[in-house]
Amino acid sequence: MTHTNGNVKGELDALLEKMTLDEKITMLAAKNIWEIPEIERLDIPSLKVTDGPNGARGGGFFEGTTAACFPACVSLAATFNRSLSRQVGKALGQEAVTKGAYALLGPTVCCHRSPLGGRNFEAFSEDPYLSGQLASEYVKGLQGERIAATVKHYLANEQDTRRFSVNEKISERALREIYLKPFEIVAKEADPWCFMTSYPKINGTNVDASSKFITDILRKEWGYEGLVMSDWGAASTVESVKYGLDLEMPGPSRIRTHEAVQKALKNDQISEEDINDRVTSTLKLLKRVGKFDDRKHTPEEQAIDLPEHRALIRKAGSEGLVLLKNERNILPIDIKKNKKIALLGPLAKYAAAHGGGSASLHCHYKVSPYDAFTERLGKDVEITHSKGAHIYRVYPDLEADCTNALGNPGFTGEYFKSEKANGKPFRTEECPKGFFNTLMNTHVEGQQTVRFSTTFQPTVSGSHYLSFSGVGPSTLSINGELLATQPDPTPDAMAFLLGVQDEIRFQYAFSKGKNYTITIQTHPSPLPSELYLLDHQSSAHLGFVLESEMEQDLLTEAVQLASEADLAICFVGNTVQWETEGQDLASMVLPADGSQDRLIAAIAEVNKNTIVVTTTGVPVETPWLDNVSAFMQAWYAGQETGNAILDALLGTTCPSGKLPISWPKKYAHTGCFGNFGLDSFESKEVEYVEGVFVGYRWFDRFWGGEKEVRFPFGWGLSYTSFEIGKARVEGSIGEGKNKKVRVTAEVKNLGEVVGAETVQVYLKPPVVEGLDRPVKSLVGFAKVELRPGEAKMVEMEFDKEGAAYWDEQMERWSVVKGRYEILVATSADPADVKATLEVFVDEGFTFSP
């Protein structure tokens, strides 16, 4: 672990001594949504942060400067490739610099507790070891560019339902073995410069409201010396200054106002020494990223589209794809035999580069599967297309055929200080489409009314479909006729912010070529919401779909094209409207209303050569699996997603991804069923009833039974085959720091193409009466690429940490005596164990965290 050297510490201490108490208090919170405050008198610069973890978005939440979009962390985890994770971290560091930001808000390392987690795609895995290992490499790559990683969300941010207020009841053992473990690994192995705390209460207390998690565990037990910031609005008490939270985000402060801090000092709730410790962490961060040196000023944001980043994104996206079925070796596609290919499904022309929320960004570009196919194969193959099904959760923004008051494409936003839109607005802005938001718009603070309008001249007549909603009370008129009224504020501001809100929907008869003045008026108001950031903000949305498009028989069209094609490829999954921060999924069924499952089933019925590609961050139910020839999971593979998918389908790359999650047949089979997400919406409390039995640790109990998984953790097919042999073990499990167990094995490529295999090592502890432990746990993995006929040795190590469980009575890690089995495998499925080795512990022992 890197510690601050004596010279730097002395320099920072001297700077701290020059600061007044008011200046120190100023530095306890951000000055705005993205920036840490500067102290001009002492030449202490500001620091800008930017959202991650799969792209450096910059200051704009919706339509900011374009940026490179890398694969989501779950896709990165599927590569099982430490080197690739570090390369992505390095490139993200370079991207952050182009946005004038020197701290990236990522990676997310919370474990996937449930397949319904709305934000699972943003995190790595259900397994804490895999999450911690790949996150550590990501952090090392990022900080090698002198960009601070911000490991989040510490702690237990596994669900988004009521995340601002939910109380999570979690056993100490589950906390230690599952939910704290990836944070512990990355803290000890990569020394991240920032941590971010989460919103939920854990066993009744917010993370920042006691000394347990930040001071006692993170700082004292793990030796962490970096900065700890809150998630946006997660600071819960002024006493967090004493409990180790360095920085309240965002600003201006809500909890740490000058008045509140001064009062806490007076009442001895906190001390000036506590404040000094917090400010020192911020000064240290500024020093680490170079803000006192060559990076003193914050440059303007730039959109720099680097070819090397394009290549890395494409490689990483393709390597993360997981081939789950390949009947009759239908893949890779033989274009000599398949001259007519039907690209079907709602995601064929949709580039599923990322999920929704903090991980979304304005990409430099996005390549859809249809784009990739037509560009690369359009001259050699006849390509047909049908969407097959509508999966709108919210209608698309009205954009085409709109002219604003200045004669430019789009809408006009007029801002008034009064309750009615009378007289001259104090500010007028242009908006490109039917959505606006005043959040982060410092030019319109204090507005009381917004008039949002356009002149719409349709090119097609019809009774077209409109949708409308506002954050505050709002109305919609066309040509002066009031057509829709929303009398109350939105009940879910977070849903609105992320574009997944419920809306008023209706049809209106439009005539081609006629002008229609569409006007929305909306008012800010206090919100019945846990997301205070949108209080007194204004926002509105206007969605639009042509009548002909909405009422077209897409299913019949898709089935007809499939019946005429040599090969039918169905692209299905979730969009940012369905899988996003702020909302957990309602079920494992693909949206919407079963339409995508019906589409696949109908296509498979008329074409035996049907391939399904799903782009989601979670497992989904697959009722059609037995009737399709091939199935590939594509995750969210970044801006090159279409090319990455096509590379794998054509065999330009050989699939090597492995599932970083277990894939249940049904949600009801999971350990957290009934105790996750929407199940806890009314009670505001959720119990982690499964304890340490998360993911494959749960499903290991059900092999051969009804709850056996559809696909096991660590599993994935290839276009070649491998042999694993010559497995050996050396070393022992012991108390000393140098006690290691080393496992080696030879991997040989038996096929005719270059391919990569991931060897996984699981440790199976001895059975002890009265002690309920998982059957096995992942303690090592190694990925190796091999030419046809080539063989290489791989090596993996683990120590006492891999053998230990948390003893709640002793409050220590414990290793029991006995025989431990070392399973050398290619997945968590017992059938995929290639060798069983053993190591003995003669005497049990305990050790401190």
d(CA 533, CA 548): 39
Residue 556 binned pLDDT confidence (cut-offs 50, 70, 90):
very high
Residue 106's pLDDT is what?
A: 97
Burial class (CB in 10 A: 0-12, 13-18, 19+), 737: exposed
Is pLDDT at 28 greater than 60 in this prediction?
Answer: yes
Instruction: Report pLDDT digits (tens) over 424-482.
Output: 999 999 999 999 888 778 788 888 999 999 999 999 999 999 999 999 999 999 999 99
Residue 742 binned pLDDT confidence (cut-offs 50, 70, 90):
very high
Q: Is 231 a catalytic residue?
A: yes
SS percent in the chain: helix, strand, coil, step 5 = 25, 25, 50
The sign one gets for the Cα dihedral 606, 607, 608, 614 is negative
The sign one gets for the Cα dihedral 260, 266, 270, 272 is positive
Residue 150 binned pLDDT confidence (cut-offs 50, 70, 90):
very high
Residue 484 binned pLDDT confidence (cut-offs 50, 70, 90):
very high
Residue 784's pLDDT is what?
A: 98
Among 163-167, 514-518, 746-750, the least confident range: 163-167
What is the rounded average pLDDT of the residues 143-152?
98
d(CA 36, CA 246): 11
Per annotation, catalytic residue among 231, 397, 597, 829: 231
Residue 438's pLDDT is what?
A: 87
Q: How much of the chain exceeds pLDDT 90, in percent?
A: 89
Is pLDDT at 768 greater than 60 in this prediction?
Answer: yes
Is pLDDT at 4 greater than 70 in this prediction?
Answer: no
Residue 226 binned pLDDT confidence (cut-offs 50, 70, 90):
very high
**8 Å CB contact between 529 and 491:** yes
Is pLDDT at 654 greater than 90 in this prediction?
Answer: yes
Residue type, 495: A
d(CA 129, CA 109): 10
Maximum distance among all Cα pairs of the chain, rounded to whole angstroms: 87
d(CA 234, CA 814): 34
- Which pTM was predicted? 0.95
Task: Give, as one character, the DSSP assignment of residue 70.
Answer: P
Residue 245 gets the label, from left (phi > 0), alpha (psi -120 to 50) or beta, of beta
Residue 678's pLDDT is what?
A: 85
Instruction: Report pLDDT digits (tens) over 350-366.
Output: 999 999 988 889 999 99
d(CA 749, CA 244): 51
**8 Å CB contact between 572 and 347:** yes
Q: Which among 531, 562, 540, 536 is positioned nearest to 453, based on CA atoms? A: 540
Strand order in the sheet with 435-437: 435-437, 539-545, 462-470, 504-510
Residue 2 binned pLDDT confidence (cut-offs 50, 70, 90):
very low
What average pLDDT does the chain have?
A: 95
Instruction: Report pLDDT digits (tens) over 381-433.
Output: 999 999 999 999 999 999 999 999 999 999 999 999 998 888 999 999 999 99
Domains defined along the chain, listed by start:
28-288 (3.20.20.300), 402-550 (2.60.120.260), 722-847 (2.60.40.10)
Instruction: Report pLDDT digits (tens) over 686-730.
Output: 999 999 999 999 999 999 999 999 999 999 999 999 999 999 999
CA atoms within 13 A on the CB side of 720: 23
**8 Å CB contact between 166 and 685:** yes
**8 Å CB contact between 370 and 427:** no
Is pLDDT at 849 greater than 80 in this prediction?
Answer: yes
d(CA 231, CA 250): 8
Task: Give, as one character, the DSSP assignment of residue 216.
Answer: I
Instruction: Report pLDDT digits (tens) over 816-847.
Output: 999 999 999 999 999 999 999 999 999 999 99
Residue 443's pLDDT is what?
A: 87
3-state secondary structure of 39: strand
Q: Which among 826, 754, 830, 771 is positioned nearest to 794, based on CA atoms? A: 826
Kindly report the number of other CB atoms within 10 A of residue 94's CB atom. 18
Residue 548's pLDDT is what?
A: 95
Q: Which is it for strands 340-344 and 382-386: parallel, antiparallel or unpaired? A: parallel
Q: How much of the chain exceeds pLDDT 70, in percent?
A: 98
**8 Å CB contact between 355 and 122:** yes
365: its two tokens: 């570009």
Q: Which among 370, 385, 389 is positioned nearest to 550, based on CA atoms? A: 389
Q: Which residue has the tokens 């001297």?
A: 14
What is the rounded average pLDDT of the residues 81-102?
98
Residue 342's pLDDT is what?
A: 98
Instruction: Report pLDDT digits (tens) over 296-328.
Output: 888 999 999 999 999 999 999 999 999 999 999
Residue 1's pLDDT is what?
A: 40
Among 535-544, 547-556, 749-758, the least confident range: 535-544
Residue 575's pLDDT is what?
A: 95
The sign one gets for the Cα dihedral 649, 651, 653, 656 is positive
